[in-house]
C-alpha cells in the first residue's frame, strides 16, 4: 500500500513531468472512485487547466491547478500515478486519464479501485474534511512528543492513525519501531520523553531514507527490516527470528529480542 515515501516519489515525478502542460481531455473510467464530485463536474473542472504545483499531505497527492482548485488523489491499497508518452499503451488499470495537449497522458491507476480521487477548491478543505493529522514529516518534535504522551493506543496503532499523524501505514510503522527498538504493542503514553524524542528522529530518518531509496524495499539499507519482512526471516541486527503479531488490527513484523515486549 502506498505510504508517505511512495506518495512522495509520485509527487517528485509529477513535479518533473506533469506541471505546466495543458490538460485537453479528462477520461474518468471508474466514476465510483470519484470523491464528492460527479464525473461531469470533475471533467469540467480539470479540462483546459494546467497543474502548477505538486504537494503531498500524508498519503495524499495534491496537484494545484492554474485557475485555483486542487486535484487530490489517494492510492488505496495498490494505486499509482504515472506519466506516459504518446507511444505508450493504456494500462488495464487506468481509472482516470488526463490527456495533455502535447500528446502525453497522466494516468491514475488502481488495481482494486480502493483509492479516491477528487477536485477541491482548496486543498486545506480536503485535509480538514478527511480529518487528517499533521504530516509525518511536518510534525515538530514537541507536537509529536505531546501526541505520543497523551495517547492510550499502542504505539504502532498511533503511528498508523491518519487522524493523529498522516502518512505512515503498516510497513513503515514496523520499520520505524524496529529501528527505534520499541515493541509495536507498547502503550504510547508509557514511552518516556527521551524515547519519544528518539522515536521522532528515527521516524524522520526512516521516511527520508525510504524516499532517497525510491521506496523500493530491496534498495533499503541491509540494517532495515523491510528487505527481510517475512515471518521466519533473520533479524538484520541480532540474527534472531522475525515474528509477527496482531497490533491495531494489522500484522506487525518485529524482532522479539531487539524489541522486547512491554512489561
Judged by the rule CB under 5 A, the positions of this chain that interact with Zn ion are 235, 237-238, 240, 255, 257-258
User: 21 or 237, CB closer to Zn ion?
Assistant: 237
Least CB distance from residue 195 to Zn ion, whole Å?
A: 18
Q: Give SS3 for 34.
A: strand
Q: Which is nearer to Zn ion, 29 or 237 (CB)?
A: 237
E strands present in the chain: 23-28, 51-57, 60-65, 70-74, 80-84, 94-100, 105-109, 116-120, 243-247, 250-254
Q: How far is the CB of 238 from Zn ion (least distance, A)?
A: 3
**Whose Cβ is closer to Zn ion: residue 207's or residue 258's?**
258
**CB-nearer residue toward Zn ion: 199 or 235:** 235
- Give me the least distance between CB of 224 and Zn ion, in Å please: 12
User: In this structure, are residues 61 and 68 in contact, taking their beta carbons and an 8 Å threshold?
Assistant: no
Grid coordinates standing for 250?
A: 494489522
DSSP letters for 201-226: HHHHHHHHHHHHTTT-GGGS-TTSSG
Q: How far is 210 from 166, CA to CA, in rounded Å?
A: 16
Minimum distance from CB of 183 to Zn ion (Å)?
12
* In the complex, minimum distance from the CB of residue 225 to Zn ion, in angstroms, rounded to a whole number: 9
Closest to Zn ion by CB, 127 or 180: 180
Amino acid at each position: 500500500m502506498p505510504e508517505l515515501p511512495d506518495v512522495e516519489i509520485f509527487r517528485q515525478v509529477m513535479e518533473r513531468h506533469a506541471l505546466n502542460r495543458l490538460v485537453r481531455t479528462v477520461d474518468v473510467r471508474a466514476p465510483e472512485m470519484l470523491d464528492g464530485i460527479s464525473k461531469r463536474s470533475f471533467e469540467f473542472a480539470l479540462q483546459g487547466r494546467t497543474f502548477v504545483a505538486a504537494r503531498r499531505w500524508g498519503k495524499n497527492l495534491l496537484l494545484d491547478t492554474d485557475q485555483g482548485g486542487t486535484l487530490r488523489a489517494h492510492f488505496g491499497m495498490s494505486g499509482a500515478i504515472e506519466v506516459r508518452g504518446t507511444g505508450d499503451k493504456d494500462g488495464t488499470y487506468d481509472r482516470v486519464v488526463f490527456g495533455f495537449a502535447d500528446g502525453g497522458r497522466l494516468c491514475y491507476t488502481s488495481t482494486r479501485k480502493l483509492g479516491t480521487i477528487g477536485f477541491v477548491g482548496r486543498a486545506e478543505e480536503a485535509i480538514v474534511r478527511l480529518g487528517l493529522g499533521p504530516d509525518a514529516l511536518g510534525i515538530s518534535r514537541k507536537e509529536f512528543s505531546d501526541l505520543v504522551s497523551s495517547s492510550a493506543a499502542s504505539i504502532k496503532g498511533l503511528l498508523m492513525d491518519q487522524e493523529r499523524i498522516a502518512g505512515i501505514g503498516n510497513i513503515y510503522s514496523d520499520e520505524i519501531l524496529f529501528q527505534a527498538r520499541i515493541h509495536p504493542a507498547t502503550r504510547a503514553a508509557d514511552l518516556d520523553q527521551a524515547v519519544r524524542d528518539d522515536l521522532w528522529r528515527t521516524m524522520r530518518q526512516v521516511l527520508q531514507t525510504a524516499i532517497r531509496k525510491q521506496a523500493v524495499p530491496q534498495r533499503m539499507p541491509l540494517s532495515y527490516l523491510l528487505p527481510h519482512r517475512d515471518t521466519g526471516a533473520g533479524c538484520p541486527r541480532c540474527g534472531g527470528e522475525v515474528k509477527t503479531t496482531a497490533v491495531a488490527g494489522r500484522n506487525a513484523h518485529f524482532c522479539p529480542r531487539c524489541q522486547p515486549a512491554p512489561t
